[in-house]
Amino acid sequence: MPPPPMPSRPSPLPPRRNGLWAALRGIGRVINVARLLIVNAVFFTLLFVVVLAIVGGIAVNRAKAVVQDGSVLVLQPEGQLVEQYSVDPLQRALARLSGDKTQQVRLRDLVGAINAAAKDKRISRILLLPGELHAGGFAALREVGAALDRFRATGKPVIAWAASLDQGQYYLAAHADRVLLDPQGSLMLTGLANYRLFYKDLLDKLGVDVHLFRVGQFKSAAEPYILDHASSASKEADSYWMGGLWDEYLAEVAKLRKLDPATLRADVDDLPQDIASTQGDLARLALNEHLIDGMATRAELIADLRRQGVPAANNGHGLRSVGLARYVADVRSSRGQLTGAGVTVVVAEGDIAGGKQPAGSIGGESTAALIRAAREDRRTKALVLRVDSPGGEVYAAEQIRREVELTREAGIPVVVSMGDVAASGGYWISMNANRIFAEPNTITGSIGIFGMYYSVPNTLAKFGIRSDGVATGPMAGAFDITRPLDPKVGAVIQAIIDKGYRDFVGGVAKARGKSFDAIDAIAQGRVWTGKQALDRGLVDRLGGLGDAVAEAARLAKLGRNYPVRYAQAPMGALESFLVGFSQNASVELLRSWGLRLPPWFAQVQALAPELSLLRDAKAGTPNVYAYCLCSPH
């Protein structure tokens, strides 16, 4: 019989178009197309913005002057008053295009605009709207106030108006010829306070052991981690320097408003009783106590200024005016590039940390590099270090101090200008200057040092975890955070902190020409106001940044006319463009055409969250700080 036929193989089926692989490939194609569309959209949007910016810039240059005769300079600072931006140029440019607030106004821009307006015949007066300003301290506000006083001395008036004012905003508004408040507004002066949160009980519940090593009876920055309340020494010291700040505040406001300081103090303290006399109307109470000159709505304010001769805007409404950003751009373009030898200003603002840090904070390497670059620049004949810092890491502060010392040794005089706070590490980087200037309400001193180390054996025990093993010697594994801290190791850390304190006090004593004991008596981590520090020989003179710059020029024998430059880290081409773009009047032109980016495009986190000594502590090593938590509110 013939063999049975072999079964034929079934012909292969065509691939299933609805299979998993086909589906994935389809999804991939969709994603790829979407990606290309998004990339192209972003690219062409940015290209469009850049082209419009260039065209806008040309249009602005060809147009008539930005600032017209009879203009009112409207100062409406919004957000934090800072020495330097911590918000990067891209964020600032995008924020302005989208109509959002950048949340920061630079002190030198505000003061510079007021100084320029005082000499500018096109500016008839200043309208100050301080209701959205958030100042971290009073020293910077005092700088702005002094500029307003110089403006008024030329015979031009300053009018301040707000819907409501806190005591920092009012401190600035009090420098105006007239202070007006909205009839539904409020003004509350409450005094100063410095309350902290204490974490000891929480850390105990978590089983975290915080070991504090310090020198100085009043060095209280780390107390919240080892106590559940403020120590008596801390309260004593805080009461002294805050009392000094409040005395300065009351004295200056009383002088500006032609009031008796004692009466003003009583009015502040008696607010709960006095508010009944106006049935809860804070604006009326402020008028009765002569803190303001009148009440007016915004429309009434504009109408009043029109009656005083201020021209209307081009559209026939409102006021002929120019805002801060546009005026700063106009002044900057008219001045041109700075040339010749002069004074270089290096800004040191924020916490002091190791390495390279962005603007708005101080880096041991980055800030030292700025000073070094300024010293090596032949145009620098004098250096001003503008300090606004509560301190931070000791070694980083020492890196900066060394550059200050080397600058002096190179024959370049160094003058420190203290801002709101120049305490602890902020004083460390200042102590070797030829001269130290502070405002009467600067917070300074706090010459002390402390170390923190934490371990978590009890935390692990709560989860049934134990650490055990062997080591080659008593110091091996000593800084293992899973094990309790050996008292002998604690003695080693304390010896290191003692040495750091001796270095700090000894360095100040040498720089100030005093004995170790004399400085030790006013150190101990104790905080002083600028005026109190002057009385104790920790600063040389009271004054602002302008005074410090003038003194630096005098020491360098620069004469009367000299350029003042601000040292900044080098920027790339794109970043340089964005800086100019964000400050250029062409941005205003684009916005006037209705060309704005959507608001969500600029919603980027601008400020880092508040630092915590415990959170930022490095595991497995003692963390040594010269730091002061000394900002009242």
The catalytically annotated residue of 71, 321, 417, 424 is 424
Catalytic residue chosen out of the listed positions 71, 86, 219, 381:
219
Q: Is 381 a catalytic residue?
A: no
Tell me, what DSSP letter sits at residue 485?
Answer: P
Q: Which contacts of 258-265 are long-range, i.e. CB under 8 A and separated by 24 or more positions?
A: 258/290, 259/290
- Tell me the C-alpha distance between 501 and 491, whole Å: 15
> C-alpha distances in angstroms, 37 versus 31, 186, 521, 529, 596?
10, 51, 69, 59, 21
**Cα–chain-centroid distance for residue 465?**
44
Q: Would you list the DSSP string of 201-229?
A: HHHHHHT-EEEEEEESTT--TTGGGT-SS
CB 375 within 8 A of CB 412: yes
Confirm whether 219 is a catalytic residue. yes
Bridge partners of 158, per DSSP, are: 126
Give the whole-angstrom CA distance, residue 50 versus residue 93.
11
CA distances to 476, 491, 508 from 472, in Å: 6, 20, 42
- Per the structure block, which two tokens stand in for 475? 């110091």
Instruction: Compute CA distances 616 → 167, 393, 622, whole Å.
Output: 33, 11, 12
Q: How many residues does the chain have?
A: 633
Bridge partners, 385 (sequence order): 346, 416
Give the burial string for 579-615 (b: 16+ CB within 10 Å, else e). Answer: bbbbbbbbbbbbeeeeeebeeeebeeebeeeeeebee
Catalytic residues: 219, 424
